[in-house]
């Protein structure tokens, strides 16, 4: 897969030269098309690099302010919204969801707690009835269906990755408490005041800055059938109802919608800044966003298990905190097992390690086939920790 390495731009402190080397190797050896990576240490930006192309035709260079859909890396900022409300005493993470969203108590969900939504343990990994992309873009319809649906497993007993539903579930609680959808709440409370270049959904006026996602090579129909035959109904609902990929994410409909679990758009710098709030124990660039106690609560482990959705694609058990995943024995976010973060479909990543004072944001447009721990992401994380 070796190929010409495009010019990498930006800056990188000499101490972190290994990060730059790994970033360049992603282009040369790991098929990178366009990408950016940013690393902060104790709130200071020590690496901010970008390179490659924003489109598969290689007509638009990736620029410093290129935005890209980061898929589930968006879930960290959504969780942040809930934790801000909890920190202010407006949301009790141990209360039943129905306290804030009464309709949610239907179909045996009256005992589902807010913490179950944050940790992928509500049993609502996906909807039971067929749900189209157009319907997914309809907030009221999607949240109404989630309120009415029956859980796939006993809530609270184990995790099952809520790939698309997470943002509607946590987001509707945010809306019921604050009166704002999570995108507007995040902008008002965090990204606006801190000047962070990240938004849930993408205004049409910003579309010219957006990179075009490229889906990984498709499996053959027989390979796809074999993969799907191994998935439990809860997993099929999570990843295939509706099926989404690069084509959908490049569409104006997807970009304009509020799909908080999956359509955050930002730069690597923005991702590093948002996850830097967690790394900085609730504070970033002199701004206190969360109390230290609230920031610590984000990584409160909710029990290790083989996730009902992700389990088939990962070698070992994983553990969700209250909105982000712990690095654990897989070293998904570096060697500190209590570091935490979130991957996005195809490769992107946000990482927070409070003990090291480190945050990392990695974004790209050529999606890889991995559920998590894409080799490009892991190479960057390994390089970062080799310098610390």
pLDDT of residue 3: 56
**56: exposed, middle or buried (Cβ count in 10 Å: 0-12, 13-18, 19+):** middle
Residues of the chain with CATH 3.40.710.10: 8-78+200-387
Average pLDDT score over residue span 34-39: 98
pLDDT of residue 277: 98
CA–CA–CA angle 54, 195, 118 (5° rounding): 85
Lowest mean pLDDT among 181-185, 223-227, 300-304, 320-324: 223-227
| pLDDT tens, residue by residue, 318-357 | 999 999 999 999 899 999 999 999 999 999 999 999 999 9
Task: Specify the pTM.
Answer: 0.96
pLDDT of residue 224: 66
Active-site residue flag, 72: yes
Choosing from 72, 125, 178, 348, the catalytic residue is 72
pLDDT band for 218, please (50, 70, 90 cuts). Answer: confident
Name the one residue in this structure whose structure tokens are 């690496």. 47
Average pLDDT score over residue span 261-281: 98
- Say how far residue 35 (Cα) sits from the centre of its chain: 16
* Closest C-alpha to 270, from 205, 206, 181, 355: 206
Average pLDDT score over residue span 125-147: 98
Q: Is 324 helix (H, G, I), strand (E, B) or coil?
A: coil
pLDDT of residue 2: 46
320: its two tokens? 């969700």
Neighbours of 197 (CB within 10 A): 17
pLDDT of residue 222: 66
Lowest mean pLDDT among 62-71, 89-98, 218-227: 218-227
**Mean pLDDT across the chain, nearest whole number?**
95
CB contact at 8 A, 200 and 183: yes
Phi, psi at 86, each rounded to 5°:
-65, -40
Neighbours of 313 (CB within 10 A): 17
Q: Left, alpha or beta for 370 (phi > 0: left; psi -120 to 50: alpha)?
A: beta
pLDDT of residue 1: 46
Q: Report the C-alpha gap between 79 and 324 in whole angstroms.
A: 8
**41: exposed, middle or buried (Cβ count in 10 Å: 0-12, 13-18, 19+):** buried
Q: Between 310 and 180, name the one with better pLDDT.
A: 180
Cα-trace Rg, the chain: 19
Top CATH class, 8-78+200-387: alpha beta
């Amino acid at each position: 897969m070796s190929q010409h390495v495009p010019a990498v731009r930006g800056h990188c402190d000499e101490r972190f030269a290994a990060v730059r080397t790994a970033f360049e190797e992603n282009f040369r050896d790991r098929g990178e098309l366009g990408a950016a990576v940013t690393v902060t240490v104790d709130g200071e930006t020590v690496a901010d690099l970008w390179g490659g192309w924003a489109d598969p035709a290689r007509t638009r260079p990736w620029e410093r302010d290129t935005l890209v859909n980061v898929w589930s890396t968006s879930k960290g900022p959504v969780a942040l919204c809930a934790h801000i409300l909890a920190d202010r005493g407006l949301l009790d993470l141990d209360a039943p969801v129905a306290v804030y969203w009464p309709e949610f108590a239907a179909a045996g969900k009256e005992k589902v707690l807010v913490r179950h939504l944050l940790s992928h343990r509500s049993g609502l990994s996906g909807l039971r009835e067929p749900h189209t992309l157009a319907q997914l873009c309809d907030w009221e319809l999607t949240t109404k269906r989630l309120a009415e649906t029956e859980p796939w497993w006993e809530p609270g007993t184990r995790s099952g990755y809520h790939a698309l539903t997470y943002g509607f579930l946590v987001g509707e609680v945010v809306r019921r408490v604050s009166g704002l959808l999570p995108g507007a709440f995040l902008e008002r409370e965090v990204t606006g005041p801190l000047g962070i270049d990240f938004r849930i959904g993408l205004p049409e006026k910003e579309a010219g800055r957006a990179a075009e996602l490229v889906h990984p090579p498709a499996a053959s129909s027989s390979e796809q059938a074999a993969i799907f035959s191994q998935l439990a109904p809860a997993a099929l609902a999570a990843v295939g109802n509706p099926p989404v990929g690069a084509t959908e994410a490049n569409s104006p409909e997807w970009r304009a919608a509020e799909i908080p679990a999956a359509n955050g758009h930002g730069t690597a710098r923005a991702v590093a800044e948002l996850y830097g709030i967690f790394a900085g124990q609730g504070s970033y660039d002199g701004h206190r966003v969360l109390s230290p106690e609230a920031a610590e609560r984000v990584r409160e482990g909710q029990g290790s298990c083989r996730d009902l959705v992700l389990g088939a694609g990962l070698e070992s058990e994983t553990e969700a905190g209250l909105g982000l995943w712990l690095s654990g024995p897989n070293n998904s976010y570096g060697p500190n097992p209590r570091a935490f973060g979130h991957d996005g479909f195809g490769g992107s990543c946000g990482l927070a390690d409070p003990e090291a004072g480190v945050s990392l944001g990695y974004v790209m447009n050529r999606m890889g086939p991995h559920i998590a721990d894409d080799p490009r992401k892991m190479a960057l994380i390994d390089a970062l920790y080799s310098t610390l």
